[in-house]
Amino acid sequence: MSNRHRRVEEEEEEERRTSQQHGATDNDPQGHQGRRRKRPRAELQNDLDEARRQAFESAEAETRLKQQVTEQEAEIRRLRQLQRQEAGRGETHSPTAGAGAGEQSPSDADIEAARAVGRRCALLHTPWLQGNSLFQSDVVNEFKSIISDTEAERSAISDEDQSTPEREWPDSALDFWRTDRFSVAGPVDIVRELMAHMDLKLAKRWLEPWFRKELKFRTGHRKIRSDTVLQIANHRGVIFGMSDDLFGQRGHERKRLAGAKDLLDGDKYLWEKSDDSNKTEFERFFRSHCLLQSTKLLLLGPSSVNEEQRSTQAGMSRADQYELKHITPSILSFIAISVHFVLSGDKAFDKVTPTANYVELYEANLRLLKAHRQRRRREYNEMIATYNQAIFPDFCKSNNEEEPEMAGMTSGRKSFYEKLLCSD
């Protein structure tokens, strides 16, 4: 080999070594891969939030799948038991028979309506059902009676003046809203109330298997829990008034920091922060910023708590969809356990977690609200009025006992009007 050829080979070898040192490749001759650009902080934060959201939803999905398996196994056992009972009685038709027994396949509207009933049940009655309690023998035995009563009530309404506000709903529906309820009702009473607010044709299909199966009633009932805590977590800055540096991480780990831990300590999240107004703890109970904002977020939507975020689609709020008339102890208790869950950092909103028994906590909230009403009626009524004014202003107007002449006046106008009446 000539000296010239050796020099060429040595120069090529030196060039390859230099390129490797600077991270250059055939596809990256300038060596840029060895010097990656620094990504903007906002871009990194968005990617991190998205990864955390996906991890959150994955954990929820895993929990839902496990629960579905358990519920399906229980459903199989229940159906087998009913079949044995009916075979013993010599009956040829079961109210739980499948579509092959002449049932009409549900429409998309029926399916969505069934989901809405499930969500309403979680809000107004109980976030967790005991198995198939709303579809078991107690309800089956009373089903014809419930339907008959509902038909009779609506028939009576059709014969009366529809313009009378107090006859807008059947008696059983009105009774529910006229009475504060501080305990979880039995299955028959829950079904009776739900049917009183349902389309009668859909109510008659309550015992059909499609109604209670996955993607129908049960999905709506279960999904409102995960949707609520996810919304609260996504709006944590507005809800809790603190940055992630104080609140803590989301995502799979969900490590909570000083701000969230402080709100959990002594259940501080239940009370409005003390200020110079010298309000007592009874006047601040269940009036915290995070509870009120979370309730608005759930029932009215994101734009109600964040002026910069407007709804992307027109439509009714959840308060209207579920035909809610005013705030109830059950709604407040549901919101309180949802806020507790988000602050806790628990990975799945199950009945029992490493930090809380949420079924017991939900019922404890109801008992506490009942005691608050019994012993501190004025403070309790003011607390309920605070929520109703923010979420159900029409209900507040309908319960306004002012003289007609004072209607619509602000405080300054009312004061001046009263002076006019007292002047010579």
Residue located via tokens 């120069």: 11
Tell me, yes or no, whether 121 and 198 share the same domain.
yes
Q: Are residue 304 and residue 385 in the same domain, yes or no?
A: yes
**What pLDDT sits at residue 313?**
46
* Residues whose CB falls within 8 Å of the CB of residue 230, separated by 6 or more in sequence, listed in order: 56, 57, 60
pLDDT digits 0-9 by tens, 383-418? 999 999 999 987 765 555 445 566 667 777 777 776
DSSP codes, 158-186: HTS-TT-GGGSS-HHHHHHHHS---SPPP
Mean pLDDT along residues 357-384: 95
Dump pLDDT digits (tens) for 329-339.
Answer: 999 999 999 99
Q: How many CB atoms lie within 10 A of CB 365?
A: 22
Highest mean pLDDT among 13-17, 172-176, 210-214: 210-214
Whether the CB-CB separation of 336 and 153 falls below 8 Å is answered with: no
pLDDT in tens, 339-355: 999 998 888 898 999 88
Does residue 195 lie within any of the structural domains? Answer: yes
Instruction: Determine how many CB atoms are found less than 10 A away from the CB of residue 57.
Output: 12
Residue 20 lies in a domain: no
Tokens at 71, concatenated: 């519920």
Do both 250 and 208 map to the same domain? no
Regarding whether 380 and 295 lie in a shared domain, the answer is yes
Q: Are residues 239 and 365 in the same domain?
A: yes
Does 215 share its domain with 186?
Answer: yes
Judge if 277 and 376 occupy the same domain: yes
Residue 47 falls inside a structural domain: no
Is pLDDT of 74 > 90? no
Q: Let me know whether 300 and 278 are in one domain.
A: yes
Range of the domain at 133: 98-222
Cα–chain-centroid distance for residue 307? 21
| 266-283 pLDDT per residue, tens | 999 999 988 767 889 999
Do both 212 and 275 map to the same domain?
A: no
Convert the pLDDT of each residue in 81-104 to its tens digit.
Answer: 666 665 655 444 444 444 444 567
- In the chain, the amino acid numbered 323 is E
Contact 269, 340 (CB under 8 A): yes
Same-domain status, 139 and 182: yes
In a domain, 168, yes or no: yes
The pTM assigned to this predicted structure is 0.69
**Shared-domain flag, residues 289 and 154:** no
Domain count, the chain: 2
152 and 102 in a common domain: yes
Is the distance from CB of 185 to CB of 125 less than 8 angstroms? yes
Q: Return d(Cα 285, Cα 272) in angstroms, integer.
A: 7
